[in-house]
Amino acid sequence: MANPTNWNSHLQPVWARRISNDALVPQRALAVHDSMVLAFFTGGSAVVEQRGQFDVNVGDVYLVPAGEPHGLITARSPEAWGISFCPACYAPTELAALLGPFERAASGASKVVRIPAVRQEHLANLCAELSRETAGGPPSAHVEFVQKSLLGLILAEVARTGPCASSPGVRTGLVSDALRFIERRCLGPLSVDEVATYVNRSPSHVSTMVRRATGKSVIGWIITGRLAEARNRLIHTDEMVDVIAERVGYADPTHFIRLFRREHGCTPAAWRVRQRDLTASAAKS
């Protein structure tokens, strides 16, 4: 989005800055970063290109996995917090569990996620604090720990938007592993047997444990993940409903529409119109 050099040349393992209309300028050539990048929009809007076109509005987080070509097509007075970080600079286990949104974006899911309105101010405050902590030169061990902690909190806010992130109940390691696998794989063909094979348990055992811990079946979580991706695409792209159905794992658009209507009480097209009307009203207020 901004000059790619600005995102790649910093010496710190994590970098955060306030970026505005002057920095977010459309570019003809797609950029590639060697680090993970996210932009949390607090003002204006934009259209971005990253294996498709996506609308980004206030309250959205735009995700750019490392090595992913991307670019800015149009910008309308955007204001955002930009954060760049290198996961390899930390022990893999410290951030791995929070990188699900980046993994899904890299595998073909939507590159934009909507932060709930009640969490947007908190996320903006975390970004501002991280910006202050990364404003100096190379950090001391104490400052690096603070930076790492703030980055973890920011990534946790984004990860909470994931399709399997809000399940109730206490999860065992098996259930957490199963849900993470479903998040990563739900947009393609996926069965209970495949989930069970991944966690090295029988299908019946996995089904029982997931339902006991979350109140929802494995198939129910697969549908949840697919519908979450569908909602993201309905909000952030102009793709036709039948195209979205195929992207989220349904060859039959009629079946997809039926599932969506059962969950939301209206068709995907009607839901899209309603959400865009709400976004337009919020922008005017």
Beta pairing partners, 74 = 47
Go through 94-111 and write b for each residue having 16 or more CB atoms within 10 A of its CB, e for each that does not: ebeebbbbbebbbeebbb
How much of the chain, in percent, has pLDDT values that exceed 90?
56
Are residues 262 and 204 located together in one domain of the fold? Answer: yes
Residue 240's CB is within 10 A of a number of other CB atoms, namely 12
Are residues 149 and 196 located together in one domain of the fold? Answer: no
Q: pTM here?
A: 0.78
141 or 19, greater pLDDT: 19
pLDDT at position 93 is 65
Are residues 211 and 103 located together in one domain of the fold? Answer: no
Q: What is the CATH number of the domain that holds 248?
A: 1.10.10.60
Convert the pLDDT of each residue in 74-108 to its tens digit: 988 899 999 999 877 766 667 777 888 888 888 88
- Give the count of domains, the chain: 2
Rounded Cα–Cα distance for residues 196 and 206 (Å): 6
Residue 172 pLDDT level (bands cut at 50, 70, 90)? low
Are residues 127 and 57 located together in one domain of the fold? Answer: yes
Q: Among candidates 114, 127, 125, 121, which has minimal Cα distance to 161? A: 114
Residue 30's CB is within 10 A of a number of other CB atoms, namely 13
pLDDT at position 45 is 92
Residue 23 pLDDT level (bands cut at 50, 70, 90)? low
Q: Is the pLDDT of residue 132 over 60?
A: yes
Q: Is the pLDDT of residue 171 over 60?
A: no
Range of the domain at 265: 173-284
Are residues 225 and 149 located together in one domain of the fold? Answer: no
Rounded Cα–Cα distance for residues 138 and 82 (Å): 19
Domain final residue pick, 101, 129, 159: 159
Convert the pLDDT of each residue in 40-51 to its tens digit: 999 999 999 998
